[in-house]
Each structure stands twice: as structure tokens, then as C-alpha cells.
Amino acid sequence: MKKVKSSFTRFGLMFLSGLLIVQGVKAQKALSAKEEADRVKMEHEQIGINDNQKSTYKHTENPGAQWFPQAGFGLFVHWSIASIKEVDLSWPMMAGTQIGWKRPLPDSAMVAKFLKDGDYFAGHHCELDNSCLTPNQYWEQARDFNPQNYDPDKWLKAAKAAGMTYAVLTCRHHDGFAMWPSKYGNFSTKNYMGGRDLVKDFVTACRKYGIKVCLYYSGPDWYFNQNYQSFMYYGVGKNYPNVPELDVNLHPRATKHTDAEKQAHYEEVAKYIKGQVTELLSNYGKIDYIWFDGSPDIPKGNVAWKDCITMEQIHQLQPGIIVSPRFFGYGDYKTFEGDKSVPTTKQDGWAELCMTAANPGWGYTKAPLKTSAYMIDKLVNCRALNTNLLLNFGPTKDGIFTTEEYQKFDEIASWMKVNSRSVQATEAISQTESSSVPATAKDNYRYLFLSPAANAKNTNFKDETLTFKTSGTPKNIKMLSAGTKLDYTVNDGVITINVPGNLRSQSVDVVTIEL
């Protein structure tokens, strides 16, 4: 991209202090919950995610799918050709995100100057580390993508030890690169890497460790759709007038397609999507879960949808499969995204929160990782509200997790060795019970979670008092980690528990009540 003009630099700098999550960023300000929700909402609008509240679809009752509500903890793996340049998946090729994700939005005068200058990355963090990519430059990474050290067996072994019961691999993200030798399209391992099947190795490793096999598939395909879409971020075109459509070189698009050409393309998209999804659900044995992410590039109500994959066809291919709601607008569970979106109320239906281990980024970008105590805290808060946590790690271009990533797996595994019973095969406490802290239940046991102390870097923790209201009678109350019995009193159905500070750790501590 051309250099930012000096007269325009002030405009760019005004953006820098307020940017939201930008792919490949090494450091940036933290997002508020509202800012994070705004960013996620805008991304979802761009890729056609919608929650059809009017749908009468109910989650599958197939016996092979009933593992999901109590699965507890899963591994998400975002991996693609983006790992070559260590940028996040897909979104780096989209210009204008530094405007679309900014809150509050810049005024129209500022955006008009930005558009007139023609440098659609101006003020983007990618200018600081020279990681700005046009779509064509992004896709060129496929030539160098050849992970010689790819070892999903090691991934899944670590996931198993960390208490993860299911795992999801990005088989094709919005960037369009299929991680298996697909017969459909011309952008997969069929055209690169000699036809190597990365999905097959992942599936084999899952089965070896008894982990549910789950495959991610993006409805949108920006490579297949490259001549029919703009690479100017959706939020900019939505909020400002006279925004040009950008082509694969991030130049204003010079040609327009006729309605007949568009319709022919929609029909090709439908056949392509159906072909690839059918491959994923036919070539690898039993698939437990398909994690759709966005709707195909076909207008709602268009006749081309008749040629696309249907929910009924998916269940014909895989009767016991769980289906994400992000493709059809309805599915088997409710989805939350981002660690600032942990649900605040008990979920009566099936639910899942996906979040990143890195801060920020879904793919591998060398971004720092969150602490394991933070990850575990999000896990227990999810489980206390009947929600699974799908925690994402991004492998390097060589197909490996870093030493730091494996360290997080090990730290979570150490916690699980002692506390797994509090989050695995548990559920939220009943409406007749209440707790002063997040809590789960299983049979006659209740598990109360103490979040990491604010002074967790010290060892001088404060004593804490917990309360739990129940109609049951406590038989035994102790710290799950050391088995140390705790002092408590009972008054009118309310159990008051004293937790000495010297029993606390630097992670989530669990108090177990046996009724």
C-alpha cells in the first residue's frame, strides 16, 4: 500500500489511541464489554450471522448428541495460511476495520478525508509492524504453507489432560483455504501441499484420545466470492455514504456485474458450499459437531438456496451431529463469543462461549496469552450458568503450539487433576438454591468457586466468607484441593462458610459441600 500522506497522518494518529481488536496487533488498549460486543456484532453482520428468534427448531434429540450440554470444556483451533505472516485469520485483508471497529465512530468529515486519500489502511495498527495485506497478498501465503511439524496428536493429548472433552478445527475460514484436498474450488491442499489432508490427521488424533470430533466451516468464502464482494469493511459502508467497493488489490472496483451474472454466481456458491460440507460430513466417519461460522454469500430468500446444503441433509449425513446456529440462523445451542460475553443468567437450553487464549487474536500472532487462572475463572463462571467454554489456541505456521501455549495446557491440567469433578458432567444449581459465588451441582454435591484473589501475586490472602442457601443438610464441607474441612454454621437453610486465607491459591479455589 502507498505511504500515508503527512497531511493525513494526524487523522491516522487520532485512530490509534482508540482502536479495537485489530488482527496481528501486539499491544493495544483493553476493550470494554460494550466495545467488544459492538465489534463482534459488526463482524457477525458482515458474515451473515443472525439468531432467528422466530424459528421453531429445537435442539436435536438424537441419543448420540446428548453429550453436549455437560461437555463443559472444549478446544478451539484457529489455524490457516495466515500463520505464515503471523496475522489473524481472514480479517487482515479487510480494509477500513480501523474505522468500523472504532467507538465512538469518527465523524463523516474525517472519513471523507480518509476515502479521498485512498489509503484504506491509514491509521491501522498494521502500519506499525508492516503487516498490512491486500486480499491477494493474504492469499499468496498459501504458497508457503507447508507445516512439516504438524502434530495434532500432541495437541489432543494436551487437551485431554486439560479436561477438554471436544475439539474444533478450522477446516475452512472466511479466507477460503480448505485444509483438506477438496474436489470443490481451487484453493485447498489439493492445489497446495501435494493434496495433504490436515483434517484427517486431526480427526484421527481426536479419536485416539476419546475427544469428540468437531469441524469448523465458514459459510462465507472471500476467495470464492472475491469478484462479487467488497473488501472494504462492512461497517464503513453501512455507516458512511459514498464508500467505494474495493477489489482484491484494495482499489475501487471498476466493473459491475449484471443481475444474471450475480444469479449464476449465487448458484455456484450454493453448489460449492454443499459440496464441501458434504465432503466434511462424509469422508471422516462420525462427526460429532459442525461449527458453522456465518451464512453463505447468497442473499436471503434467493432461489439459489435450493441448491445449498439443508439442515435435513446434514442430519441425513450425520444423524447424531450438533449444528451451530451461525449458518441457518438456528441450530442446537446458543452461542456467545468473547470473554466479555460470559452469559449473566442461567441458560435453560444448550449454550457455549468461545474465547481466545491469546490477548488478542484467534490465530497465532505472537500476542501474549491470558493467565491460566483467568481462563479457569471463565470456565467455572460458564459452567455455573450451564454453558460450555470453547477455548481457542492458534498453532504456528509449522503446525505446533508454542512452549507458552503448552504451559497453559499444563497449568489447566494441574488444576483439573484436583478440581475436574466441579466442572465436568455438572450443571447449574437449581432455582431453589442460591450461592454468594458461582456454583455447580452434581448429585448431592455442590461446588462453590472462589475467583483468583485481587492480590494473587502475593501469598497473604484474606479470609473469605461464603453463603449457600439450600433445603438440604450439609454433611461435609471442605476445600477440594487439600481436602481441608472448613468451619461453617447453618441458620434457616443458609450455610455460612469460613475460608481461611492460608488455604487460598493463585487460581480458582473450589469449596465442596456434600449434602
Q: Which residue has the cell 485447498?
A: 188
Residues 513/495, Cβ–Cβ less than 8 Å: yes
Looking at residue 446, the DSSP 8-state letter turns out to be E
Q: Which residue has the cell 455447580?
A: 440
**Torsion, Cα of 486, 489, 490, 494 (10° steps):** -70
Residues 161/120, Cβ–Cβ less than 8 Å: no
Q: For residue 249, how many other CB atoms are within 10 A of its CB? A: 11
Three-class SS state of 393: strand
Cell triple for 404: 507458552
Cα–Cα nearest to 72, from 377, 414, 424: 424
Cα–Cα nearest to 509, from 442, 424, 418, 436: 418
> Domain limits of the chain?
6-422, 429-514
pLDDT score recorded for residue 459:
66
Cell triple for 91: 480479517
Tell me how far apart the alpha carbons of residues 474 and 489 are, in angstroms, rounded to a whole number. Answer: 10
Q: CATH topology for 6-422?
A: TIM Barrel (3.20.20)
The rounded Cα 96 to chain-centroid distance in angstroms is: 22
Q: For residue 345, how many other CB atoms are within 10 A of its CB? A: 8
pLDDT score recorded for residue 306:
97
pLDDT score recorded for residue 209:
98
Residues 306/267, Cβ–Cβ less than 8 Å: no
Q: What is the CA radius of gyration of the chain?
A: 24
Cross-strand bridge partners of residue 95: 232
200, containing H or E segment: helix 198-208
Please tell me the class of the 429-514 domain. Answer: mainly beta
Tell me how far apart the alpha carbons of residues 304 and 316 are, in angstroms, rounded to a whole number. Answer: 21
Tell me how far apart the alpha carbons of residues 335 and 225 are, in angstroms, rounded to a whole number. Answer: 26
Tell me how far apart the alpha carbons of residues 47 and 41 are, in angstroms, rounded to a whole number. Answer: 10
Q: Which residue has the cell 466470492?
A: 225
Cross-strand bridge partners of residue 74: 166, 390
Q: At what angle do helices 403-419 and 372-383 cross, to 10 degrees?
A: 50
pLDDT score recorded for residue 28:
40
- Mean pLDDT, contiguous 10-residue spans, the chain (515 residues): 33 31 39 74 87 83 96 98 96 84 76 79 76 94 97 98 98 98 98 96 98 98 97 84 90 94 98 98 98 96 97 98 96 94 94 96 96 97 98 98 98 97 96 97 97 66 94 96 94 96 93 97
Tell me how far apart the alpha carbons of residues 188 and 242 are, in angstroms, rounded to a whole number. Answer: 36
